[in-house]
Structure 1
Amino acid sequence: MTSTTVAGRLNALGRAELTLFVRNRTAVFIALLMPLLLIFVMRSTLEEIDLGPSGLTAAGASLNGGIGMVLIQVVYTNLVAAYVARREELVLKRLRTGEVSDSEILTGTALPAGLLALVQSVLIVVVGTFAFDLTAPHRPDLLVLGLLLGVVLMTALAAATSAVTRTVQTAQLTTLPFFLVSMLGSGLFVPLEVLPDLAASICELLPMTGVMTLVRAGWLGGVPTGDVVGAVLNALAWTVLAVFAVRRWFRWDPRR
């Protein structure tokens, strides 16, 4: 009997998931075009808002938010539907009968979405730097850290959300609360500095806030060191909670 390596198993799962993703035209449209459309829509809206307290321009705020939308749409929303579909089609159950571990199954399924999100984020930074007259990343290390933590966090939250999602169709409903809360309160497009103090303090605790703070600090700068440390702790804490939820409640069998 021929044994396989972890890298080989992850590569096989990732390639299979990428093939299924490309065949789903709706998922491809949402993942590739929706974040870009929202960037242009939000930029025109932000031009009407006083961003003075944040030190950001409308272009900087909208492109920074575009990276957040990529993480949510490409990783979180797409993976919730993917995990549910594979579960209901008995794919997850069959995979568990082999030598692939549970963590490898979840990671392999998430690989294409995670890599696509990283590539799109890099493109947004490049386009923003040259086409929108923004500065090059101030701290590339913080930007990369924010992106990696964002991919891991969105993957864990997607797996946790799939536990309460019965069908692929209802995934649009179960992902909506996180999408709206993150877009409005995690600094994706509207910086927390322009919100009332109480609202800003509450929004600092949201799952995506730490990731977006790191992305902004890495690319656009203007974030105090204390806030950067708090952002890392925020992202790590939510990741730990999400992983715990997955280990406790993730469903491998169809919900019938």
Structure 2
Amino acid sequence: MSTVATTTSAGRLASLARAEFTLIGRSKGVLFTAVFVPLVLPLSLSRSLDKGNLKDAGLNLGTVMISSAIAFSLLFAVYSALVSVYASRREELVLKRLRTGELRDLEILAGAAVPSVVIGLVQCAAVAAVCTVALDAGAPDAPQLVLLGVLLGIPLCVALAALTTVFSRSVESAQVAAMPMLLVSMIGSGAAVPLEMLPDRVAAVCEFLPLTSALTLVRGGWSGTLSGGEALKAVAVAVAWIGIAVFAVQKRFRWEPRR
């Protein structure tokens, strides 16, 4: 009596994730972007922020730096790194070959994202701990909101990374295509400049940018200044962006190189 070996979704995902960990470890450029850039940028930002202006806006340097550091981890360790990973795997026909096997489309994209997501989570925890001690930020008043902000920001960055590769023909052009999201998020989502320091009308528009809601939950959860209504609004906007990005990926993502 013969038996047929079958694989589970978890097993396939774990195997693909192990392979991706090996590949990302060999890619020095991606590894540098994912590991070192998010750690260096907050240090540069802390020197440029005026403590007096922050105090006038009712902000604490430690809280601002924690949310900014987490933002940089999401943007560079997850989003920017994954743009390179997805584009590289597509151009090398890896994605096309994987689709001929048992792996489902979602498993392929998720497996490729695991290393970046793990690095991003570790960095978020590390920078939060360092900023808490070094800048005397204190413990978060609402840790559940901080965690929710990170957990919403990660799938959003993964989906946006996959979507960004649609507008590129190579790994090099993929990084160029990622620049608008990076710049808009750093300037308009509160990563480099808190929304409280922007003009009211500009801040009102920036509240609806993709990454703003996640950072609002992180900063508001840490400082305890976020009301229940504001938290619900931030969650709704973040979930809406995730839904839009996932839908667009399902419709537009390219599994083969464009010739």
Distance across 1 between alignment mates of 2:57 and 2:189: 14
Aligned with residue 21 of structure 1, among 20, 24, 47: 24
| Greater displacement, 58-67 / 196-205 | 58-67
Taking the TM superposition and a 5 Å limit, the aligned residue runs for 1:62-81 are: 62-81=65-84
- Are residue 136 (structure 1) and residue 139 (structure 2) matched? yes
- Are residue 7 (structure 1) and residue 15 (structure 2) matched? no
Taking the TM superposition and a 5 Å limit, the aligned residue runs for 1:161-172 are: 161-172=164-175
In the TM superposition, residue 192 of structure 1 has moved relative to its aligned partner by: 1.0
Match of 2:247 in 1: 244
In the TM superposition, residue 47 of structure 1 has moved relative to its aligned partner by: 2.2
The residue type equivalent to 1:85 in the other structure is S
In the TM superposition, residue 128 of structure 1 has moved relative to its aligned partner by: 1.4
Match of 1:99 in 2: 102
Q: Deviations over 1:170-195 (max 9, x none)?
A: 12210000100000010113211121
Q: Deviations over 1:108-146 (max 9, x none)?
A: 111111111011100111111122211112222111111
1:128–1:242 distance in 2 versus 1, CA, 3 Å: same
TM-score between the two structures when normalised by the length of structure 1:
0.96
* Unaligned residue ranges in structure 1 (runs of 5+): none
| Greater displacement, 78-87 / 133-142 | 133-142
Match of 1:175 in 2: 178
1:49–1:238 distance in 2 versus 1, CA, 3 Å: farther
Match of 1:57 in 2: 60
The residue type equivalent to 1:173 in the other structure is V
Distance across 1 between alignment mates of 2:211 and 2:236: 12
Match of 1:152 in 2: 155
**Conserved? CA contact 1:143–1:216, under 8 Å:** yes
Match of 1:210 in 2: 213
Distance across 1 between alignment mates of 2:169 and 2:71: 26
In the TM superposition, residue 81 of structure 1 has moved relative to its aligned partner by: 0.9
**Conserved? CA contact 1:43–1:59, under 8 Å:** no
**Conserved? CA contact 2:17–2:111, under 8 Å:** yes
**Conserved? CA contact 1:55–1:222, under 8 Å:** no
Q: Secondary structure at the match of 1:217?
A: helix
In the TM superposition, residue 239 of structure 1 has moved relative to its aligned partner by: 0.4
The residue type equivalent to 1:93 in the other structure is K
The residue type equivalent to 2:128 in the other structure is V
Q: Secondary structure at the match of 2:167?
A: coil
**Conserved? CA contact 1:86–1:92, under 8 Å:** yes
The residue type equivalent to 1:33 in the other structure is F
TM-score between the two structures when normalised by the length of structure 2:
0.95
- Are residue 110 (structure 1) and residue 113 (structure 2) matched? yes
Q: Secondary structure at the match of 2:212?
A: helix
- Are residue 231 (structure 1) and residue 234 (structure 2) matched? yes
- Are residue 186 (structure 1) and residue 189 (structure 2) matched? yes
Distance across 2 between alignment mates of 1:53 and 1:118: 32
State the Cα RMSD in Å.
1.3
Q: Deviations over 1:33-60 (max 9, x none)?
A: 1112111111111126612354222333
The residue type equivalent to 2:155 in the other structure is V
The residue type equivalent to 1:236 in the other structure is V
Q: Deviations over 1:152-177 (max 9, x none)?
A: 00000011111111111112210000
Give the % identical residues.
Answer: 47
| Greater displacement, 22-31 / 242-251 | 22-31
- Are residue 126 (structure 1) and residue 104 (structure 2) matched? no
Distance across 1 between alignment mates of 2:52 and 2:6: 59
**Conserved? CA contact 2:83–2:175, under 8 Å:** no
| Greater displacement, 187-196 / 103-112 | 187-196
Aligned length: 256
The residue type equivalent to 1:45 in the other structure is S
Distance across 2 between alignment mates of 1:221 and 1:48: 20
